[in-house]
Amino acid sequence: MRMLISVATAALGVALAAAPALAAEPGEVVIVAPAGPQTMDGCQSNVSSTARILKQNVLEALTIVDPVKGGAAPRLATSWEQSADGSWLFKLRPGVMFHDGTPLTPETVVYSFERMLDKALGCDPFIFVFSGVEVKAEAVDAETVRITTNPVQPILPLMVESVAIVPLATPRNELTRAPLGTGPYVFTNWDTQTSVTLTRAPSYWGEMPAVTKATFIWRSEASVRAAMVDVGEADLALSISEQDARDTDLMYQSAEMSRIKINNDQPPFNDVRVRKALNYALDRRALIGTLLNPRITLANQIVGPSVFGYDPAIGQYEYDPVEARRLLDEARAAGAPIDRPIRMISIAGSSTFANQDEVIAAFIAMWKQVGLSVTNEALEMGLFRSSIRRENFDPNRNPTLVFSNHDNTTGDAGMSIFSKYHSSNGTSDLPDTPEGIKAMDALIESGMAAVGDERRRIFGEAMRLEHDEIVPEVWLYYMVNIVRKSDRINYEPNPRTSQVIDLATITLN
Amino acid sequence: MLKFVVMRFLSGGLSLAILVTLIFFFARLTGNPTDLYVPMDASEAVRAQIAEQRGFNDPVVVQFGNFLADLARGDLGQSLRYARPAIDVVADAMPTTLTLAGLAIPIATVLALVIGSLGALHPGGIFDRIAGGATLGAASLPDFWLAIIGILVFAVVLRWLPTSGTGTALHWVLPVAVLVFRPLGILAQVVRTSMLGVLSSDYIRAAEAKGLRWPAVLVGHALPNAVIPMIMVVVYQAAGILNGAVIVEVVFGMPGVGRLMLDSIMFRDFNLLQAVVIVTAIAIFIAAAVADLLLALIDPRLTHD
């Protein structure tokens, strides 16, 4: 028996010794995210699981988006100006070295643009930001790069934020799994199944950050992420669910808004009165603080207040079931088939926010109150994506709503307005008449070509028209997100936190 | 015996070929994956280009021909999501799943043998009743609930174990414990039922009449016959874990095959899906073949056909 006890004690000792270190080394932080990266190349700068590790930490671009005020700020370029011919000249920061010891030169910038915008590589900057735009980068002198686009891009300084500048050692025709950049952190290790490690770059050109080593790990389950901070296994846990949140967690306005698209290909949705009634019938405020986080706010345009172009003067469709019924009665009298069953589609297994299913059920009940019969159908993601393309609309289908979300992390409303309302996009929502489509396209194009206050005015005008007259959607909410942090660190989340974790902004207690 | 082994491998190979063909065509029935690889806002030109580059525009029969030609060279293609060879992605995930199965199944089997045998010794007794209820409960408890409760109790409240992840021996305790429950519940019921039948056999009574002691009767005579029906159940349970203990892998952040398979379906990563299915099918085929051989060794009558 004595021997048994000895063996048991020894086993316990070994087990405790093998227990994970609950306290990280000084200077080291552990960040737990909902999903791990699939790739490790700046080419995938729009995939949040990759971007939040690399962007601004390992890889830097010519400019950076100001996460609070929006707009472009200097990073690897110290200044920029537009030439008379519409091209842009970017002056490079002197003395910057890549992690492989080679210097930042105009040639490396040209190489990075050619690589990132190579159609064959299909990088995110090419697909998301520069789609349909011809780009030519060329070295002007030892510290200046000229970037010419066709058509001319007035917000090019903002757009180049998506192009990571990499050294010539980065493979040209394939994705790298060992990224090299100029950022404050060196990519050190990627255990594809468990973690990514970054260590502070000793020769960084800027101010030396406090965090010396960062380990990114991933857990799908929000309650597990939250528990990891509680027991000291992680310092920062992203995307804490409403149910697991507590008062000490940090909430922030994310760059995301939720919306329900109204496809006007089928009656009665080709009648603007019905589209307005869909908005008036929803008591969105009643769900805030009950089913939804108390800090969620009502949306009324495609971008939130932190984005350049947001128009604070646009009103709200406040809950008014009487007005909704009146509009529906009017439309019915004019021949609109109000009684047709309405189908709403959403993505199966994907929640834009906590309690999404309950919120959808509540909306369907509210629409029923005013006489609209809506059923929700959750589709597999691929089917959902093909179903929302106008070219795939079945002429005999039911009137269709699309539960969706949109986020703008560029800081400029142009990207959102162009992709959601311009007719060149296969999923955008358009005015009812060809003249209306033409006019909206022209307005958006003029906004994309404008700068400064004129740009803001035109975008504001486009979003006001969409809200007051075209009504292609039901505007729902500007979302908030929740993170949990340990007492070891100081960190203030911002609207881009879901996409970018700027390690340099973390300080240690 | 040699003929038996050869026939077993031939039938396994045929099953694998049918499975590979079915998975190829069924995966493509879900549609063109281009929509998942370009943003919803992408222009038509970009969509067409991506589809063309990745061969999604080729007729399915051409795609199948290419797939077979690559397969003959041992090339299962690139994973679209991971941008690396699909077989490498599966090879990274396989050790985790094999470890989970390799720990959970033996533990469940040994415990089931003990609990089932003891229950069968005194059917209707207190131990049998408690064990019967407990094993039935173990077989019915949802993995997800068990996993979350396990984390709350042993990681958050007691702080004895890590919440999740891999790295030390302690990281495996909770996931394996959760995975043990269901096979244990099922196997214990199988052992009990089988043992009850064996214990009432004439040869057991003869062994008793010879004056053998109970442990010798139980271990030497009853158990070898009682485990025969259990072996295939063990293999089926192991196959379940090899196919992916999805919930355990998701909750505990364990990078296994189940999660990979689910993601490859959700994101229409055909090459990865095919690689996962082929590798797990081979693993299950090997497990089933070993079980067959084991059964043939225990009961030579099985090789006569």
Task: Write the pLDDT tens digit of every residue in B177-199.
Answer: 999 998 999 999 999 999 999 88
Torsion over CA of A360, A363, A364 and A368, rounded to 10 degrees?
170
Under DSSP, the state recorded for A467 is I
Minimum Cα–Cα distance from B147: chain A residue: A224
In a domain, B145, yes or no: yes
Chain A: nearest CA to B37, how far in angstroms?
A: 9
Nearest to A131 among B43, B83, B165 (CB): B43
More confident position, A13 or A223? A223
Asked if the structure places residue B299 within a domain, the reply is yes
Model confidence at A278: pLDDT above 90: yes
CB proximity under 8 Å: A 268-327 to B: none
pLDDT at A7: 41
Evaluate if residue B2 carries a pLDDT over 80: no
E-state strands within A50-158: 63-65, 72-74, 77-82, 88-92, 134-141, 144-150
Average pLDDT rounded to a whole number, residues A73-97: 95
- State how far the Cα of A213 lies from the Cα of A184, in Å rounded to an integer: 11
Q: In the predicted model, what is the mean pLDDT of residues A52-81?
A: 88
Q: Tell me which chain B residue has its CA closest to the CA of residue A221.
A: B251
pLDDT exceeds cutoff 90 at A173: no
pLDDT (0 to 100) of residue A444: 92
A425 chain-B contacts, CB cut-off 8 A? 41, 43
- Weakest-pLDDT range from A178-187, A268-277, A291-300, B47-56: B47-56
Q: Which residues of B fall within a CB distance of 8 Å from A175?
A: 83
Reduced to 3 states (helix: H, G, I; strand: E, B; else coil), residue A474 is strand
Q: At B184, give phi and psi (nearest 5°).
A: -60, -45
Ranking A46-55, A65-74, A257-266 by mean pLDDT, the lowest is: A65-74
Nearest CA-CA distance, residue A246 and chain B, Å: 16
Q: So what's the pLDDT on residue A344?
A: 95
- Which residues on adjacent β-strands are paired with residue A190? A196
User: What confidence score (pLDDT) does residue A354 get?
Assistant: 67
Residue A123: pLDDT band with limits 50, 70, 90: confident
CB-count exposure of residue A447 (10 Å: 0-12, 13-18, 19+): buried
B100 occurs within a structural domain: yes
Mode of pairing for the β-strands spanning A400-407 and A374-379: unpaired
Q: How many domains does chain B divide into? A: 1
Smallest CA–CA distance from B80 into chain A, residue: A38
* Residues whose CB falls within 8 Å of the CB of residue A72, separated by 6 or more in sequence, listed in order: A63, A64, A65, A66, A155, A157, A158, A160, A161, A411
pLDDT at residue A495, rounded to an integer? 78
Chain A residues lying within 8 Å of B39, measured CB to CB:
46, 127-128
Contact indicator for B259, B246 with CB cutoff of 8 Å = yes
A382–B31 C-beta distance less than 8 A: yes
- What is the predicted ipTM? 0.73
In sequence order, what DSSP letters do the residues of B46-72 get, joined into one string? HHHHHHHHTTTTS-HHHHHHHHHHHHH
Mean pLDDT of A423-428: 82
**B20 occurs within a structural domain:** no
CB contact under 8 A, B156 and A427: no
pLDDT over 60 (residue A437): yes
Taking a contact as any Cβ pair under 8 Å apart, which residues of chain A between 127 and 146 contact chain B? 127-128, 131-132
3-state secondary structure of A375: strand
Mean pLDDT for the stretch of residues B23-45? 68
What rounded mean pLDDT belongs to chain A?
88
Write out chain A residues lying below 8 Å of B164, CB-based: 219, 224, 228
Assess if residue B81 is contained within a domain. no
Cβ contact, residue pair A427, B41, below 8 Å: yes
Which pLDDT score is estimated for A18? 41
Query: Across the interface, do A419 and B268 touch by the CB < 8 Å criterion?
Result: no
pLDDT at A20: 43
In this structure, what DSSP letter does residue B166 have?
A: S
Mean local confidence (pLDDT), A203-220:
94
The pLDDT score that the predictor gives to residue A186 is 97
pLDDT at B46 over 80: no
**A135-139, A296-300, A307-311, B28-32: the lowest-pLDDT one:** B28-32
Statement: residue B83 has pLDDT above 80: no
Tell me, rounded to whole angstroms, the distance of Cα B143 from its chain centroid.
Answer: 15
- Computed over its alpha carbons, how large is the radius of gyration of chain B? 24
Residue B115 lies in a domain: yes
The predicted-structure confidence for B97-112, as pLDDT tens digits, reads as follows: 999 999 999 999 999 9
Higher pLDDT: A349 or A509? It is A509
Q: How many CB atoms lie within 10 A of CB B137?
A: 11
Q: How many helices (H) and strands (E) does chain A have?
A: 14, 19
- The better pLDDT of the pair A478, A383 is held by A478
**Residue appearing with tokens 């949140």:** A245
Q: What is the CATH number of the domain that holds B295?
A: 1.10.3720.10
Cα distance between residue A198 and residue A187, in whole Å: 5
- Residue A400: predicted pLDDT: 96
B92: closest CA of chain A, how far (Å): 7
Residue among B77, B51, B36 nearest B267 (CA): B36
Give A10's pLDDT tier (boundaries 50, 70, 90).
Answer: very low
Q: Tell whether A176 lies on the interface with B, counting CB pairs under 8 A.
A: no
The minimal CB distance from B44 to the residues A119, A388, A426 is found for A426
Please indicate if any CB of chain A lies within 8 Å of the CB of B19.
no
Write out the H or E segment, with its range, that includes residue B292.
Answer: helix B270-298
Q: Which of residues 53-112 of B touch A (CB under 8 A)?
A: 53, 81-84, 89, 92-93, 96
Give the up-direction half-sphere exposure of residue A468: CA atoms within 13 A in the CB hemisphere.
10
Residues 6..35 of A with a Cβ closer than 8 Å to B: which? 14-15, 18-20
The sign of the CA dihedral A219, A223, A224, A225 is: positive
Distance CA B87, CA B10 (A): 24
Given a cut of 90, whether residue A187 has pLDDT beyond it is yes
Closest chain A C-alpha to B265 CA, distance in angstroms: 10
The residue among A120 and B247 whose pLDDT is bigger is B247
Look at B84 and A177 and tell me if their CB atoms are within 8 Å: yes
Integer Cα distance of A138 and A106 in angstroms: 8
Per CB-CB distance under 8 Å, the chain B contacts of A128 are 39, 41-42
Domain that includes residue B219, residue range? 86-303
In a domain, B45, yes or no: no
pLDDT at A300: 96
**Each residue's pLDDT tens digit, B113-141:** 999 999 988 888 999 999 989 988 888 88
Residue type, A85: D
Contact predicate B109/B234, CB 8 Å: yes
Residues 124-183 of B with CB under 8 A from A: 148, 151-152, 155-156, 159, 161-171
Q: Which residue has the tokens 């909306």?
A: A363
Pairing, β A77-82 against β A134-141 = unpaired
CA nearest neighbour of B92 among B284, B275, B252, B235: B275
Question: What digits encode the pLDDT tens for the residues B232-274?
Answer: 889 888 888 877 588 898 889 888 888 888 878 777 778 888 8
Domains identified in chain A and CATH numbers:
1-59+183-235+486-509 (3.40.190.10), 60-177 (3.90.76.10), 254-479 (3.10.105.10)
Q: What's residue A459's pLDDT?
A: 94
Partner residue facing A175 (CB), from B83, B152, B169: B83
Query: Chain B window 249-268: which residues touch A at a Cβ cutoff of 8 Å?
Result: 250-253, 255, 266-268
Please confirm whether the linkage preceding A395 is cis (ω < 30° from 0): no
Output phi, psi for A279, to 5 deg: -75, -50
Size of interface A-B (CB pairs under 8 A): 127
* Arithmetic mean of pLDDT, A70-75: 82
Q: CA nearest A384 in B: which residue?
A: B35
Q: What is the pTM of this model?
A: 0.78
CA pair distance A263, A384, nearest whole angstrom = 14
Query: Mean of the per-residue pLDDT values for chain B?
Result: 85
Among B288, B236, B281, B201, smallest CA distance to B105 is for B236
Q: Cα(A267)–Cα(A122) distance, rounded to whole angstroms? A: 39
- Going by the DSSP 8-state scheme, the letter that residue A207 receives in this structure is P
B202 to chain A, any CB pair closer than 8 A? The answer is: no
